[in-house]
Amino acid sequence: MSVNQQAHTGPPYGQPQPGYQGYQQPAYGGQPLPGVPQSQYGAYNGPMPGYQQPVPPQGYFPSLGFPSKGSPVSLNSDTSSLAPNFIGSLRAPPTSGAPPPASGASLPSGHLAYSQFGHGDVQNGIPASAAPMQRPPASQLFLPGSAPTPVSQTATFQQYGPPPASVQQLSNHMAGMTIGSTTASAPPPAGLGYGPPTSVPPVSGSFSATGSGLYTPYTASQGPSPTSVSQGLPLAQPLFPGQPMSTQRLPTQVPGFAPPPSSAGIGPSSYPPSTGAPRPPTMPGPPLPGQTVAGPPTSQPNHVSSPPPPSTMSGPHAGPPMSGLHGPPPPTHLPQPGYQMQQNGSFGQVRGPQPNYGGAYPGTPNYGSQPGPAPPPKRLDPDSIPSPQLNELPPQQKPRHRIDPDAIPSPIQVIEDDRSNRGSEPFVTGVRGQVPPLVTTNFLVKDQGNASPRYIRCTSYNIPCTSDMAKQSQVPLAAVIKPLATLPPEETLPYLVDHGESGPVRCNRCKAYMCPFMQFIEGGRRFQCCFCSCVTEVPPHYFQHLDHTGKRVDFYDRPELSLGSYEFLATVDYCKNNKFPSPPAFIFMIDVSYNAVKSGLVKLICEELKSLLDYLPREGNMEESAIRVGFVTYNKVLHFYNVKSSLAQPQMMVVSDVADMFVPLLDGFLVNVNESRTVIASLLDQIPEMFADTRETETVFAPVIQAGLEALKAAECAGKLFIFHTSLPIAEAPGKLKNRDDKKLINTDKEKTLFQPQTSFYNNLAKDCVAQGCCVDLFLFPNQYLDVATLGVVTYQTGGSIYKYAYFQLETDQDRFLNDLRRDVQKEVGFDAVMRVRTSTGIRATDFFGAFYMSNTTDVEMAGLDCDKTITVEFKHDDKLSEDSGALLQCALLYTSCAGQRRLRIHNLSLNCCTQLADLYRNCETDTLINYLAKYAYRGVLSSPVKTVRDALINQCAQILACYRKNCASPSSAGQLILPECMKLLPVYLNCVLKSDVLQPGPEVTTDDRAYIRQLVTSMDVAETNVFFYPRLLPLTKADVDSDSLPAAIRNSEERLSKGDIYLLENGLNMFVWVGVNVQQGLIQNLFGVSSFSQISNALSTLPVLENPFSKKVRSIVDMLQVQRSRYMKLIIVKQEDKLEMLFRHFLVEDKSLSGGASYVDFLCHMHKEIRQLLS
């Protein structure tokens, strides 16, 4: 999508962009600006004239959000039409005073406007205009102050918004867009060019106020057109790194426009002059002709209007930061347009303020900028990206160009578009290779033969027929599988099929299970396997006649023939030692060392367990749970408790020989809760008292797991250990650890050792646990380094979960811990699980990511697998695939239910295969791709330096996008960044992964935090990684107190925040409520129960319960979000300009991060530069 573009709601991108062409960018290609080093790329004179663009293909239905088969991703950009998804081409500045011809000569009038559903060949790219556009001579001078005169063009393209008053408006709209403004978007500090810009205020004038209705449909031809970001990029220049390109829609505004001048000035609160000098008047030059200021009047609604903080940008000039170039231009110089990205080629007129986007937040502190002289405003220039060599340049010398953040793909827009296009209809799984709605869309699934996307999501639903094509595209072929996913109440759980003693019907050769894709032949007497083509006899009891279409007559009566997901009851052959399993057991193991007792933790756990034991998981129709429970406490020694129902009081047995662990009692250790209720209650009352005066500070850890394992072995059952642990196990015992935390290793080749276990002892222990079906869930309460990388090994390899509560305090953390514990104890779990993924001939599963153990290359073994865990599987070609037969995968999970029943859960999925790269790129799912890439990178840090891992990620994504550009987009200038429609958010999301604590930690991130996050992400599903890497930011003050809906989300950037509003940000682990300094007193009173901003307490961990509509609405939003996440999020109240604000800012992922991460805009530029290098 074009960076200048607005993301669109559904219609294809790609109207021709008139008027993008003539931008004179000073310093771009033509004359070098004084003091700016010459760029290594020559002048860019615009896209080559004369590429004919074919007509748009048919088949793009706006309502779908992605093209139907056959619709191209059209990105053709040509001179006349810029690629839809691009940022904009750069132009050389005219060298003579004559105004350059407007960009691209006027479109011939014969150029038809594309209708919404065009026809024609499938072509990727924006349709070119019929006549070649002229480019302005490269040599005209760009006189400061002279605005290029736009040439008027006929407006034959469709616009997004109201049509520009005239095309020319566009041109200057584009060309002079920000004229008059101090910067339309604030220049980010030049800091690491690769980091998020500090903040670019949204130009609110350019958003339209309406939601997705804003753009007119693109032509059909465009299919989703690629996002091309062109104009604004200097040739080489990277697109903005800071901005996410995304699949999401751009903010509603139309990217195609630069902010109107008025808005550029961003109202009163517009950005500070770069140095402290007074700002020149907002309109330094005359407005361009034709440029209508359609946006709101200068003062934007949500602008923060406090005086801007001193900006860190310094630079030679004291004038307004120019959004375009930088250098010492006199104030009269018009700022160049921050290149707006074109929104698929059409720019409508500037819109009013965008809904729910606050105006620019002028007060953005520029954190993260370079030390030393403040950098000049950023331009989008390749050189501005800190490639290593450039970093040595003094900041002032790097030329920069500003890209309008509203012009680059917006995750919010893409999410909204998908919701409006695909949220109303059920997703019916009967068709092969359908791309499901995004994980952020609420939709109903109807299983008609393929597994629901709640169980399996793929990186692409149309996979290359050959390995060469797969290597060329570099798109990883992977599936994120969540075999026991929880379904919403309105969807049916998988049916349980019982075939009696003979068990499930399977292929004789590959052992695949009966599924809807098996072909019955010879009147139903035999079936041909859809995975290996072997023919197998149908067992007599399973025989059924075929109807006239070759389907069995009982097709609809058998889940395994008509549904994508179902379960089989397993026979004794599927059980360990050919013996049906016993119901599992839960063992609670509580650290009773000094820290645990003193913090109140021991008492809290014991109190909670008294009631929680009534909620152990049970099969649907059972009166009570079949799970038995046991209790152990420990410090340097272990205490086992006999809670047999016949005892009057519990008995304690101490094992002090921790080097040779054994369980001192068999009978009475694991008991039924109902039978032993009084003894258990008595024990839980006594434990806190028994250890109230303990002075023991040291703990053991490995012996605790060994004790639980031995108890389960003795009881001959699988089960789960719930271990509550507080400190590094330094007491003399097996598995003893030392404090090896060393911040000096960060960014060295030895950094990887911080993620590796310090001893192999725990790996061997994990292997024993998996063999027994002993899953370990770990609740950690550290006050200092605990070595999560080592303690977490057993949890991770047994399929368990880790929960971490650093500096645990009863008042603030008890809610979060108790909610997590309740959910962890109650959730559905399969024990002693083995999963295998079978594929049809041509591809095979080669790599697996997640919390499990593998003893061979095909079987994923987990002592426990719960409803939140995913296993990510990567596939590689081992032969050719055919477009006709497609590709199939079948995931089979063998597990023991919580009632002790052995079952097989089967999920089947059929995918299309393609011989054209365009089909691959049209059917990818960016959220799943990012989930896979994050897991791949997070595993990579175990064996490679972090920098190597980061570079490999950037390189792979650049290759994916370069392959698209080279093979699927129509020829266009290298100055354009063209992104496939369904991958337009890849840059923004990838940048979020690169900036995450694991790959780029800030100074405050501990080694334990990084190891914890690394393990957590490895088994997250797609919805969790989506919000974890790109948090959800909601303006609470915009919430409608009378409706149940959430307020519309806004983009993650400081400039979107207004001082007069309250926002909620959540990422699945944390939740922040940010309160602006100018929030009305009435709102503060209604939400916090205090009369002024200064009285709001940071110590609140829950919002006070107040009887007023606003308080009820906000609390209901918080509760709604907590329910959606698998962990209870800690609520943190952040007051603007408070010390906690630094923590909050870390989650504003479109901005530059303190740890040096790029802003979205800068990263986009960097990616563009990488892509260009690959293409050249």
- Report the distance separating Cα 985 and Cα 1083, nearest Å: 35
Give me the mean pLDDT over the 845-862 stretch: 96
- Please write the tens of the pLDDT for every residue from 235-261: 333 344 344 443 343 334 333 344 443
Give me the mean pLDDT over the 596-613 stretch: 97
The per-residue pLDDT of the chain, averaged, comes to: 77
The helix/strand/coil state of 366 is: coil
The stretches of 250-374 forming alpha helices (DSSP H) are: 261-264
Q: Helices 1007-1018 and 926-940 meet at what angle, rounded to 10? A: 130
The one-letter amino acid code at 725 reads H
pLDDT band at 826 (very low <50, low <70, confident <90, very high): very high
Q: Provide, rounded to the nearest whole percent, the portion of the chain with pLDDT above 70.
A: 66
- Please write the tens of the pLDDT for every residue from 722-775: 999 999 999 999 999 999 999 999 989 999 999 999 999 999 999 999 999 999
The helix/strand/coil state of 887 is: strand
Positive/negative CA dihedral, 20, 22, 23, 28: positive
Asked if 49 and 134 touch (Cβ cutoff 8 Å), the reply is yes
Positive/negative CA dihedral, 619, 624, 630, 633: positive
Give me the mean pLDDT over the 385-390 stretch: 37
Instruction: Give how far Cα 937 sits from Cα of 740, 829, 1000, 1156, 1174, Å.
Output: 23, 28, 12, 18, 22
The one-letter amino acid code at 480 reads V
Q: Is the pLDDT of residue 658 over 60?
A: yes
Q: Is the pLDDT of residue 780 over 90?
A: yes
Phi first, then psi, for residue 641 (nearest 5°) are -125, 130
pLDDT at 421: 95
- Report the distance separating Cα 423 and Cα 417, nearest Å: 10
Q: Which of these, 99, 219, 214, 213, lies nearest to 156 by C-alpha position?
A: 219
Asked if 173 and 350 touch (Cβ cutoff 8 Å), the reply is yes
Pairing relation of β-strands 1062-1066 and 1032-1035?
Answer: antiparallel
Rg (C-alpha) for the chain, rounded Å, is 31
Pairing relation of β-strands 802-804 and 774-780?
Answer: parallel
- Please write the tens of the pLDDT for every residue from 15-55: 434 433 434 443 333 344 444 444 444 444 444 444 444 44
Q: Which of these, 1004, 1025, 848, lies nearest to 926 by C-alpha position?
A: 1025
Asked if 359 and 207 touch (Cβ cutoff 8 Å), the reply is no
- Dig out the tokens for 909 from the structure: 């999925």
pLDDT at 380: 38
Enumerate residues 6+ apart whose C-beta is below 8 A from 678: none
- Please write the tens of the pLDDT for every residue from 474-529: 999 999 999 999 999 999 999 999 999 999 999 999 999 999 999 999 999 999 99
- Report the distance separating Cα 207 and Cα 1041, nearest Å: 25
Query: Could you give the angle at the alpha carbon of 444 between the alpha carbons of 440 and 449, nearest 5°?
Result: 115
Query: Could you give the angle at the alpha carbon of 128 between the alpha carbons of 122 and 134, nearest 5°?
Result: 165
Positive/negative CA dihedral, 778, 783, 788, 791: negative
**550 φ/ψ sector (left φ>0, alpha ψ -120 to 50, else beta):** left
Element (H, E) at 1027: helix 1022-1029
**886 φ/ψ sector (left φ>0, alpha ψ -120 to 50, else beta):** left
Q: Is the pLDDT of residue 392 over 50?
A: no
Query: pTM of the entire structure?
Result: 0.71
Asked if 235 and 29 touch (Cβ cutoff 8 Å), the reply is yes
DSSP string, 708-763: HHHHHHHHT--EEEEEEE-S---SSSTT-------GGGTTSGGGGGGTS-S-SHHH
- Report the distance separating Cα 1011 and Cα 789, nearest Å: 5
Asked if 1084 and 393 touch (Cβ cutoff 8 Å), the reply is no
Q: Which of these, 701, 663, 711, lies nearest to 794 by C-alpha position?
A: 701
Asked if 724 and 781 touch (Cβ cutoff 8 Å), the reply is yes
pLDDT at 196: 38
- Dig out the tokens for 1012 from the structure: 């914890």
**735 φ/ψ sector (left φ>0, alpha ψ -120 to 50, else beta):** left
Q: Is the pLDDT of residue 415 over 50?
A: yes
Q: Provide, rounded to the nearest whole percent, the portion of the chain with pLDDT above 90.
A: 63
The helix/strand/coil state of 28 is: coil
Q: Which of these, 148, 271, 260, lies nearest to 198 by C-alpha position?
A: 271
Q: Helices 761-772 and 788-798 meet at what angle, rounded to 10? A: 20
Q: Is the pLDDT of residue 970 over 50?
A: yes
Asked if 564 and 516 touch (Cβ cutoff 8 Å), the reply is yes
pLDDT at 226: 52
- Dig out the tokens for 655 from the structure: 């094992």
- Please write the tens of the pLDDT for every residue from 92-114: 444 444 444 444 434 444 444 43
